[in-house]
Copies of this chain bind each other. A is one copy, B any other.
Amino acid sequence: MSVQAIAWSANAAVRIVDQRALPDVLVTRDLESAEAVAEAIRTMQVRGAPLIGITAAMGLVVGLRNDRSAPREAFLAGLAEKADLLAGTRPTAVNLHWALDRMVRVARATPGDGAALWERLQSEASAIWEEDRAMCRKIGEHGLALIPDGVKVLTHCNAGALATGGIGTALAPIYLAHEAGRQVHVYVSETRPLLQGARLTAWELAHAGVPCTVITDSMAASLMRAARVDMILVGADRIAANGDFANKIGTYGLAVLALHHGVPLYCAAPSSSIDASLPDGDGIPIEERAPEEVTAVAGRPVAPPGAQALNPAFDVTPARYVAGYVTERGIVKPPFGAAPA
């Protein structure tokens, strides 16, 4: 049974799993304002492109709880302000903007004052979440054909239940194969600097009873050379029209190594990760995070004081390295058109 990464609390606050605390403890946190939601996204209490989009949409709802008595224009102004706040938290994942744009558009198209608009937003955020759960399952069903009994899959970062509203993207086919009784072994690259592989993917796979082995990112190459990896399954934070995609730093290196060793790499993502406005991956903005995430681990310095470090959170993998894109619509190939509104 995979973990549930997000929910509404009883009083319409946003209930999240604080992913910074995993795997030590499972901390559930109720976010009571748009500011708290923005902070949670910025500090990666919640992360994963689909989950960020859902959380931001729900953040608008919680952030406007006290504006229900406002007249229409004041409500819409508050909505625009909070959408801006949330949009500024992470630059790379397109789902964030997709979800916020959808919320703003729906509110504008709804007649009435604050109360009516707020209720519409609440049901729209729930719909975004529900659609994501359904998309995850569809991705899992389409990807299941790629997962024969006995397969050894390498995944990077966390594109699982903790990255979505449902059972994940890259991990969805794995969960369904496991449910279907197929033997699957997952190699989990730890994913420095923030160790989402070791901390989150290994945790949620263990939670669901799927056998896995943690490796450092640097071990993937020799594992492929030893023919111990049958396929690579990763998520995506943004996919350009030509199929180039941004994902967690290290994905591009895995893609080159996979090509070199004849291992197919699949990118699993909902259509909402496709940004058809970008012809190719060169236009995807890459978030540069604080160097301290590299020079310290778990708060302890691992490099000398004052050491310079780079910390791009993502890299771009050109489409030519990708065997296929597993979406809720099936296993598809570029070019990609616009996502559904």
Contact = CB atoms under 8 A, between A and B. Distances in A.
A2 to B, nearest CB: 14
A198 B193 CA distance: 12
Interface string A177-217: 00000000000011111010011001100100001111111
Interface string A290-329: 0100110110111111111110100110000000000000
Contacts of A217: 192, 216-218, 250
A220 interface: yes
Contacts of A174: none
Q: How large is the interface on A (under 10, 10 to 19, 20 to 34, 35 or more residues)?
A: 35 or more
A24 B198 contact: no
Contacts of A260: 256, 260
Nearest to A222: B315
Interface in A271-289: none
Given A23-B304, A218-B191, A297 B297 contact: yes
A252 interface: yes
Contacts of A23: 301-305, 307
A259 to B, nearest CB: 8
Nearest to A212: B308
The copy count of this chain in the complex is 2
A304 B202 CA distance: 7
Given A190-B302, A303-B202, A252 B221 contact: yes
Nearest to A195: B302
A215 B294 contact: yes
Contacts of A203: 303-304
Nearest to A206: B304
A269 interface: no
A105 interface: no
Contacts of A297: 195, 297-298, 300, 302
Interface string A232-251: 00000000000000000110
A264 interface: no
Contacts of A300: 297-298, 300
A286 to B, nearest CB: 9
Contact of A216 (B193, B221, B304): B193
A199 B303 CA distance: 5
B309 A222 contact: no
A253 interface: yes
A291 B277 CA distance: 45
A264 B253 CA distance: 17
Contacts of A304: 23, 202-203, 206
A298 B300 CA distance: 7
A229 B166 CA distance: 40
A252 B222 contact: yes
A219 B250 contact: yes
Contacts of A216: 192-193, 217, 249-250, 294
Given A202-B303, A221-B250, 4 more contacts: A214-B309, A215-B309, A218-B253, A225-B315
6 contacts: A214-B309, A219-B250, A219-B312, A219-B315, A222-B315, A222-B316
